[in-house]
Structure 1
């Protein structure tokens, strides 16, 4: 896990080093810069995880000196690929996955990415053909940005590393659309800064004569699989895949742990790790490190569930009290490092992974991706109503699931009776069918998309195009700000293909969301966690903060001259009044407070990112 930077043609050394150093948090252990024949500059900041010796140093050259690579990510199945390459005549100087990746490219060309199980963003320069090959992992777990600046092609792990090559920073033409559509821009090439583009997930490309030509190498719909007909066999197959996914992700030469919420997904992950270790089937013995974010006295605190899990597994846990005042003075710096906008404050997540690092852990295996893959949200229950419409029994079951999955923070939702929920949904759905409206997805014309049931189509879009891409971006930043790598077993591409091939009834049913996960991992978890229906999202208790610890801070800011004159706030006076109502406790609605934060945060982003001095140094 690292930070990468490159320019074609090469760049002046001091400017390039300044740009690379903006990525120090991504790779604090060492750095490397190579200028190759004035044709290309390659830079790397290293977070040492596999082969922590100097043999894993980057940029890495092939013995022939023809090829050079900079790579951010991890290839979990690198040992299996290495064995295959050895049988084909390759030899290895290191035990790093970077060398395996470079030689896989030399052996199989651009198709090498289809062999990879992992997360990546990398660039390989061929000094003979004067071409650069670039690729980003299937789902976009690792970030990659690029820009064309005065005839120079620049790419980097974060936008800030591109800033020093730019004359000035301006907001994108789409900025105001993006700030209102937080979950819909990450899966596009759109960026908040004008002139910078996002390299798309599941794409590769080659740069030749200054022109980047992109092509899509991975579409989950092209990789659906035959699933067992019986549900019990599906459960067994899912368990096998998940255990193997965790096993591969426990390959590490440094200490690993888990960010444990007490919810099903993170609990399933650490339970799988414990089972693998207990049966001597693990690549790491040093995994027993659970970190739990605690929000004492707020509706978001679920640390008691996390303790149930660690007690059940017989391991300890580090409970991290999220106290905003301790870190709030760093907020602008965190926004600069985070670079993007989101619906909630980044502070709790940054604090959690900060505690992970402070306690000597560099890698975590976390439960991200399961909600979007397997229907962990309320809306998924509604979408499955269409699939169950001819079965009164299944419809009743799904409505029960919908009601049972309402967040424990009851202030967020108003409960509505089953009949009204069903009627309102079906009226909307039938209306869309009559109007010929398809499930919104860039892939809704794909033959295999049409074969998916309604819930699976909905989840496909959530996983590939809106909610999950945004969360992947967020958690990459939260962790890497603290020099921590997150691995996500639920996002193994074999699991994604398998789950997308399952019928809706395997994902939601028998009175539970994420049905197959619960049945597969039940033997390893306390029943109170496996069969818990309610859900708490990992967020900020924003109402509590606005009305207590941070009330003065909010009022000082919304009454400041710079806020009233901000070009990024469309109606600062009205927003100030709404925030004042929450701070004064006239309004304590969570959803409205969160909306206020979403509308307020561009002001902090403007001060932290747009007004940075990291430009044209």
Structure 2
């Protein structure tokens, strides 16, 4: 796992700016740093590639990057892991390819030389990379299928610039800091919109490759071509005569996904909540390693609150005999580390669960475990959220399985009471927004985030882009595909990347193995959510492997600290008040400042439901202060020292 950066331009300060880009990404790769430069690229341009290394495979200098092949014609800067690199290396060796290292980096480089862009189809992994093909005069870039690893870029008259993080890319002075206010506010109202679902980012001058996208830059012309190299295709659903065969097939596939992700030359452990997803990974890892092997797990705890899941996690620890480590993320620590937390997360976070994740990765760092397996992706890909039952019911009706559905509906309603009921927000939003907006401001009532916005902006934010069933998919499969590869999960993966990398940890996600997605989307809905079971495929495949208390736990609980209790802490409440009284907040015209003042009073008086609402302007304002503000201060210091910017200063 690493940090990458690159510039293709005619400007003489490019290498100096790459150094700055790497410096602010040092946390992504504390084990090494490298810069490679070609001053004689086509069109009189230069190509500068940079890399920060976190050593995972082949810890020797043979794994240093940017990596140049033996001919000198191909140069690679790469972030991620190709989990099946051993199998690809064996195939290439049979074709006469020799290797100088034991890294997946060299396998990626040689795979491109052998198969070109089609090499992407062979990779099982998480990655973002840029490969300079000097023979063709192109820079070939790609991002993994799920978008686990980031690839941010800017293209303008001065050149093409890319990096792993915003803070690195925005070291280049001509890349503006202007923020798309509507996109930013929309993301606060709906987590799955605005920040990660589009190629355009919240910074007007910055774009990103989306999951499964590749980009090729022709250096001479400056033209770029972007395409999607992989996607789930609709196909006829399997005819299943024996469900046990499918459950066995899934179990073997998940086991193999865990096995591949345990390949490492540094210690590997697991995040462990009280949920079924991380529990499955820990139990499978224990089976693969054997009972005598030392294996470490890391759990966030919230003793004495409804959010504490230790009663479930402890069952896993007892059954598997792992070495357990726990941490108690609290509001005092959050306040102390807030500037650093915001700086590393780079964008506003949806709730305090990201704070808990941050603390878990820091704990792993203290214990010396570099690689962590985690259960992210299972809920979105396997039907883990209660609301997915609405899509399941629709899919069953589409298929004419009404008798089976009639038997299941009473149990669904009993086991998941809110699953088939429209959300409170959906019911509320049917009423005229203008009237509700006025009444809330007039009488100090209601808790919708929309009431704290200007009415015209609130109307735009409320306009939800409905999930339209994709042609060829049933309602459930379409929902899972869109939430996994275009919405929601992409944001959660950003959280995981930034929080793990902040502490120089690598997080690997077995449920984000594309083979699992290809299997799931060929199965009938009943195998995924039938018999009133969310994630039925996982539950049934894990019989006899998971503790039964975890496997048959129906109520899903996210990994979220008791955020509403934080607001009862006087110091934290004062911090929130100070933030919403700051110039950064009061000078922002998107907010109805008086409404937020009254909301703070109501929250302090005991209306806990307002905690989630107040968090949003609080964290966005903190982001402006500790991220955008810090970038502006860094830029001012740099411009004072070096008037000529990398994108203004021609090469000599």
Pairing partner for 1:191 from 182, 201, 211: 201
Pairing partner for 1:530 from 540, 551, 569: 551
Give the aligned partner of residue 339 of structure 2: 332
TM-score where L is the length of structure 1: 0.89
* 2:621 maps to 1:594: no
Pairing partner for 1:440 from 458, 463, 467: 467
How far apart are the structure 2 equivalents of 1:296 and 1:584?
25
Pairing partner for 1:218 from 218, 230, 237: 230
Cα–Cα, structure 1 residues 275 and 405, in superposed 2: closer, same or farther, change >3 Å?
Answer: farther
Pairing partner for 1:49 from 44, 56, 73: 56
* 2:194 maps to 1:182: no
How far apart are the structure 2 equivalents of 1:198 and 1:80?
30
How far apart are the structure 2 equivalents of 1:581 and 1:394?
44
Runs of 4+ in 1 over 4 A off after TM superposition: 222-229, 418-421
1:568·1:603 contact (CA, 8 Å) conserved in 2? no
- Secondary structure of 2:542's partner? helix
1:566·1:603 contact (CA, 8 Å) conserved in 2? no
Give the aligned partner of residue 483 of structure 1: 504
How far apart are the structure 2 equivalents of 1:59 and 1:255?
25
How far apart are the structure 2 equivalents of 1:602 and 1:539?
19
* 2:80 maps to 1:78: no
How far apart are the structure 2 equivalents of 1:229 and 1:176?
49
Matches within 5 A, 1:225-304: 228-278=240-290, 288-304=295-311
- Secondary structure of 2:614's partner? helix
- Secondary structure of 1:460's partner? helix
Shift of 1:558: 4.5
How far apart are the structure 2 equivalents of 1:75 and 1:118?
4
Cα–Cα, structure 1 residues 452 and 147, in superposed 2: closer, same or farther, change >3 Å?
Answer: same
Matches within 5 A, 1:412-491: 440=467, 449-491=470-512
Cα–Cα, structure 1 residues 399 and 110, in superposed 2: closer, same or farther, change >3 Å?
Answer: farther
Give the aligned partner of residue 440 of structure 2: none
Give the aligned partner of residue 411 of structure 1: none
Mind listing any 5+ residue stretches in structure 1 that lack a counterpart?
407-414, 429-436
Cα–Cα, structure 1 residues 107 and 567, in superposed 2: closer, same or farther, change >3 Å?
Answer: same
- Secondary structure of 1:74's partner? strand
2:63·2:103 contact (CA, 8 Å) conserved in 1? yes
Shift of 1:328: 1.6
- Residue by residue over 1:384-427, the C-alpha shift from the partner in whole angstroms, topping out at 9 and shown as x without a partner, is 12234453553452453354246xxxxxxxx69x8999xx99xx
* Count of residues in Structure 1 that have an aligned counterpart in Structure 2: 582
How far apart are the structure 1 equivalents of 2:67 and 2:580?
52
TM-score where L is the length of structure 2: 0.85
Give the aligned partner of residue 3 of structure 2: 3
Pairing partner for 2:160 from 133, 142, 153: 153
Cα–Cα, structure 1 residues 315 and 564, in superposed 2: closer, same or farther, change >3 Å?
Answer: closer
Between 169-178 and 502-511, the greater mean CA deviation after superposition: 169-178
Pairing partner for 2:105 from 87, 95, 98: 98
Shift of 1:161: 0.6
Shift of 1:203: 1.0
Give the aligned partner of residue 368 of structure 2: 360
Shift of 1:29: 1.1
Pairing partner for 1:519 from 520, 531, 540: 540
* 2:234 maps to 1:207: no
How far apart are the structure 1 equivalents of 2:2 and 2:19?
15
Cα–Cα, structure 1 residues 217 and 259, in superposed 2: closer, same or farther, change >3 Å?
Answer: same
1:543·1:593 contact (CA, 8 Å) conserved in 2? yes
Cα–Cα, structure 1 residues 568 and 103, in superposed 2: closer, same or farther, change >3 Å?
Answer: farther
Cα–Cα, structure 1 residues 164 and 419, in superposed 2: closer, same or farther, change >3 Å?
Answer: closer
Cα–Cα, structure 1 residues 552 and 321, in superposed 2: closer, same or farther, change >3 Å?
Answer: same
2:580·2:586 contact (CA, 8 Å) conserved in 1? no
How far apart are the structure 1 equivalents of 2:472 and 2:246?
19
> CA RMSD of the aligned region, Å?
2.5
Give the aligned partner of residue 433 of structure 1: none
- Residue by residue over 1:92-144, the C-alpha shift from the partner in whole angstroms, topping out at 9 and shown as x without a partner, is 01000000000000000000000000011011102232210111111101001
Between 196-205 and 545-554, the greater mean CA deviation after superposition: 545-554
- Secondary structure of 1:261's partner? coil
1:331·1:347 contact (CA, 8 Å) conserved in 2? no
Give the aligned partner of residue 377 of structure 2: 369
Cα–Cα, structure 1 residues 606 and 223, in superposed 2: closer, same or farther, change >3 Å?
Answer: farther
Matches within 5 A, 1:564-583: 564-567=585-588, 569-583=590-604
* 2:69 maps to 1:65: no
1:343·1:598 contact (CA, 8 Å) conserved in 2? yes
